[in-house]
Amino acid sequence: MKQPDEIRKELTDAFDDKDLKVNGALLSASPHFGDYVRMGYYLSCGPRGTISGEPVMRNALIALDADMTSRIDKYYSRESRAVKHFGQQQTAYATKTAQPDKDRDFSKLLTGSLEEFERNHGFVVVGERLPNYAGFVFGNVFKESLALKQHWKDVGAGPAHGEYSHRLQWYILIRAGAIKTVPVNQEATVFASIAPWQKGKTNLWTFIFDQLAKDASIGGDTLDFRSPENLNLWLVGDASPDFCPVLRAFLRSRMAKRQSTYDMEKYLAKKLRKSEEEIAGIMEYMRDETIAKRNPSARIAYPKNAKPEFVPYVKT
């Protein structure tokens, strides 16, 4: 677990010492630098984090679990019924057997909770839903999404990483009060401020939110949530089976789904509603563009009142 001074030093060593500037100023001179340090520190603390004696990180997740549970229409035993339903889904995915009958009671519980919270804190949903990242995504696309104050669904990042992990990081940080340089309900301003701070492999987003579990800064600490993999694996793991039962059951089901069924070509075909031949053309295009070093990203956008689109490049 890193202390604030350690996070501060890592950031200044990585950015100030390389003389990387935005609008002529070093990272340490950014009006949001204090937030960057706090966010890194809070995430590094993970579930161990307490502020003024309060377990703020755990409390944030408990609030999310409670909100998900409150969205279940039928009041009777809604928590236990949700856990049972998602457990049946998980088993079916793992064994590749028939899924339980769909139940609208348990549809979009996490999506609904996150979207309402995000809108209330300045984030933007363009169109009907967030973009889906179906495979590798280059820095230009990340930069655009950050600047737009727009989260994404990270399907292609792999089951251990988790498709919701970055959104959960931001939910936790905002709920825990880590962001203090902007008014409450405008925290997406800090999200957007991260966009310019990338040059080559030096990337502020990676330093705070997207470290690999094996990275030197993590140091093998499995409770350091600067690694989305650590956050996701802790939430779906067996160490705290009674903690956030609905959120945990949902994420376990989703992980089993990606482990057992995910294939980028099939995913694109389903979401874009295209034939195998059309998807084969997209994949060939992606390969050609990659060979030409034009950095195409596997991204699906959902424009308002329009069909889903395959959008490999940012708009200019």
Query: Tens digits of per-residue pLDDT, 205-237?
Result: 999 999 999 999 999 999 999 999 999 999 999
Judged against a pLDDT cut of 90, whether residue 76 lies above it is answered with no
**Max Cα–Cα distance, the chain, nearest Å:** 59
Question: What is the token pair recorded at 289?
Answer: 């563009």
Task: Locate the domains of the chain by residue range.
Answer: 4-310
pLDDT in tens, 145-173: 999 999 999 999 999 999 999 999 999 99
Reported as a pLDDT band with limits 50, 70 and 90, residue 190 is: very high
Question: Does pTM surpass 0.85?
Answer: yes
How many whole angstroms separate alpha carbon 300 and alpha carbon 137?
Answer: 11
Higher pLDDT among residues 140 and 9, named by residue:
9
pLDDT in tens, 267-303: 999 999 999 999 999 999 999 999 999 999 999 999 8
Size of the chain in residues: 316
C-beta of residue 141 within 8 angstroms of C-beta of residue 148: no
Supply the pLDDT for residue 149: 96
Closest CA to 4 of 57, 50, 32, 42: 42
Buried b (16+ CB within 10 A) or exposed e, 26-37: bbeebebbebbb
Note whether 296 and 310 are within 8 A (CB): no
pLDDT at 316: 54
The pair of structure tokens assigned to 56 is 């703020």
